[in-house]
Chains A and B, each alone.
Chain A
Amino acid sequence: MKKTKISEFIPLIFLIIIWEIVGRIGFISKGLFPPFSEVLIIAFSFIKNGILIENFLKSFIRVLIGFFLGSLLGIFTGIIMGWNKYIERSLSPIISILYPIPALGWLPILMLWIGINELLPITIIFICSFFPICYNTICGIRSVDKNYIRVARTLGASKIRILRTIVFPLALPNIFTGLRLEAGMAWRVIIAAEMVAIPTGIGALMMKAESLIRMDIIILCLLILSIMTFLFEKFFVYLESKTTKWKLK
């Protein structure tokens, strides 16, 4: 994986300085545009009293479970659909109909079916992850050059062995593209779902802050969303670099 250079942080540091100066000059009321230092202060105080940790963990666990289950089933379904054209033909119309529906579009139905409990955000994240990852996996499996399969056949490999040792590893770059994009998307969706329908988590905290006109808390929540999206995406970039070493050679 490419090492991050210190120079890459310079624009970020510059932005924070500008933010701090503009916040302090008083052009805009501090209530509407708090300086960076005040956001940091509220962050520390929320960490200290446990509010931030509690809400963050709620969102984090929902994303983790929903995303894990969604990607696992997405990869599995994608593999069997990409590998077997009969299964692909049977399931493809269903996937094609359901895939374009935005994850949040499911919210009203799921609220009525499941109710407002922990299962609701997990299900939303599951749906948000499943379809794109399934689609990317199908594309990945299909994009493997058929000649590699022919070579493996002449070498005496069984179908399962070909799938396990040739097709799946060669489809990994595509699968990781799906995982990387959806890992970030899962965070965006959970925040939106919590804002609309779930009373706990970072999204809900943000909505409470809005009703109290606490811009510092809203910005803090947005920063957490941004950092988590970034970290999740980076995690999959790292994982991809470890599992597809051959691509970097």
Chain B
Amino acid sequence: MEIEIKNLSNFIMRNINLKVKNAEFLVLLGPNGAGKTTLLNSIAGLIPYEGNIFFNNQNIDEIPSGKREIGYLFQDLFLFPHLTVFENLAYGLKSQNPKKNIDGKVEKLLFTLNLLEMKNRYPSELSGGERQKVALARALATEPSVLLLDEPFKSIDLHTSKYLRNDLKNLQKKLQITTIYVTHNLFEAEEMADRLVVLIDGKICEIGTVNEIFFNSKNKDVLRFIGEPNILSVDSYKILESGLVEANCNGMKIIAPYEGKKIKKLAILPQDIYISLFEIIGPKFNMFQGKVIDILPDSSIVRVKISVEKNIFLSEVSRDIFNDLNIKTGDKINLMLKLRWIKTYE
């Protein structure tokens, strides 16, 4: 299903124009209150809007929500607490065709998503990850042409959410379903997206691939939001044991997660660089000493520019922490790059 949005406006959104290709995985990225959920709700037909939405060139503005062929996974899931897993999955199918025997179809879906064992349980008897899977299965049960996902993995732990994101991506590819995924997490967006749309203050600031937006964005609002990542060129690298890689970046040896692909660049966001005037305790990797070359205050945060060997890093701290640190230009400073948040690119 191809989606086209023309001049869409309402109480938050301002003149949104967007095309989503058939079977594309589009990620809507933006800070809280940017209008991401409102845009999904408009596509789902749950709130009024001005402008037009087309599915495969057919105007759907007058079509009620339940007939738009969408599967919607809400941020807080909203599994019906009084229905079992099976009944939750069957709900949409029964609503659309009450007389049809849908048991086989639901069983098949439960099997596909490995939920068969818990079909008679109530949502309150499931773990966070299981609930997420059930909600996804419910959204997919009616075989929608468009899947809308509103920060679906926000409330579960990092490990489970990574595993579920992987499952979702595979399922989306298998089903070839046009998907719009809302998040405010940069790395989640980068991991999932075929294309990214950055939405800030109800308007689209930039549309492009991950590399285009992360490395070449010129839009000030976008740069402010994604935090101008520190990008380092990798001269050479050595694969270590346990899924890590040691990259040589202009004389600095940086340990990063290895994702099995060639590495030409490393990126780390300013907020993921820890700084201290004193020696940082803990394992001695990704810890460097540098010199503060500039201090850039910006409302509630302060950016500190640090030179380390031949590289320049930008670190970001809250104003309170900055005041406690009492850093001045020219100070020698210790910095640590948080391993988990270092990203590698081809």
Seen from chain A, the residues whose Cβ lies within 8 Å of a Cβ on chain B are 145, 147-148, 150-158, 161, 165-166, 169-170, 244-247, 249
Contact = CB atoms under 8 A, between A and B. Distances in A.
B80 A154 contact: no
Contact of B44 (A152, A154, A157, A166): A154
> Of residues A145, A165, A245, which shows the largest number of chain B Cβ atoms within 10 Å of its Cβ?
A165
A145 B95 contact: no
A155 B76 contact: no
Given A150-B74, A151-B72, A156-B66, A244 B91 contact: no
Contact of A154 (B65, B76, B83, B125): B65
A151 B122 contact: no
B95 A158 contact: yes
A17 B30 CA distance: 73
Given A150-B65, A156-B96, 12 more contacts: A151-B74, A152-B95, A153-B64, A153-B65, A154-B66, A155-B142, A156-B66, A156-B67, A161-B95, A170-B82, A245-B122, A249-B125
Contacts of B44: 154
Nearest to B67: A156
Contacts of B318: none
A160 B124 CA distance: 26
Contacts of B70: 154
Contacts of B64: 153
Listed from nearest, the 9 A-B pairs whose CB atoms lie closest are A156-B66, A155-B92, A157-B95, A154-B72, A156-B95, A156-B96, A246-B82, A153-B65, A249-B122
Contacts of A249: 121-122, 124-125
> Of residues A151, A161, A247, which shows the largest number of chain B Cβ atoms within 10 Å of its Cβ?
A151
Contacts of B138: 155
Given A147-B74, A147-B76, A249-B124, A153 B82 contact: no
A169 B91 CA distance: 14
B78 interface: yes
B74 A152 contact: no
A155 B66 contact: yes
Nearest to A173: B82
B48 interface: no
Contacts of A170: 81-82
Interface in B53-86: 64-68, 70-72, 74, 76, 78, 80-83
B277 interface: no
A209 to B, nearest CB: 48
Contact of A157 (B71, B74, B91): B91
A169 B82 contact: yes
B171 interface: no
B46 interface: yes
Contacts of B80: 148, 151-152, 166
Contact of B46 (A150, A155, A158, A245): A150
Contacts of A147: 74, 76, 78
Contacts of B66: 153-158
A246 B95 contact: no
> Of residues A150, A169, A170, which shows the largest number of chain B Cβ atoms within 10 Å of its Cβ?
A150
Contacts of A161: 95
A145 B81 CA distance: 11
A166 B78 CA distance: 12
A153 B78 contact: no
Nearest to B41: A150
Given A249-B122, A249-B124, A155 B78 contact: no
B262 to A, nearest CB: 42
B91 A145 contact: no
B44 to A, nearest CB: 6
Nearest to B64: A153
22 contacts: A147-B76, A150-B46, A150-B65, A150-B74, A150-B78, A153-B65, A154-B65, A155-B91, A155-B96, A155-B138, A155-B142, A156-B92, A156-B96, A157-B66, A165-B91, A166-B80, A170-B82, A244-B82, A245-B122, A246-B122, A246-B124, A247-B82
A48 B125 CA distance: 53
A157 B91 CA distance: 8
B95 A155 contact: yes
Contacts of A156: 66-67, 92, 95-96, 142
Contacts of B91: 152, 155, 157, 165
Contacts of B46: 150, 153-154
Nearest to B66: A156
Contacts of B124: 246, 249
A115 B70 CA distance: 62
A167 B208 CA distance: 42
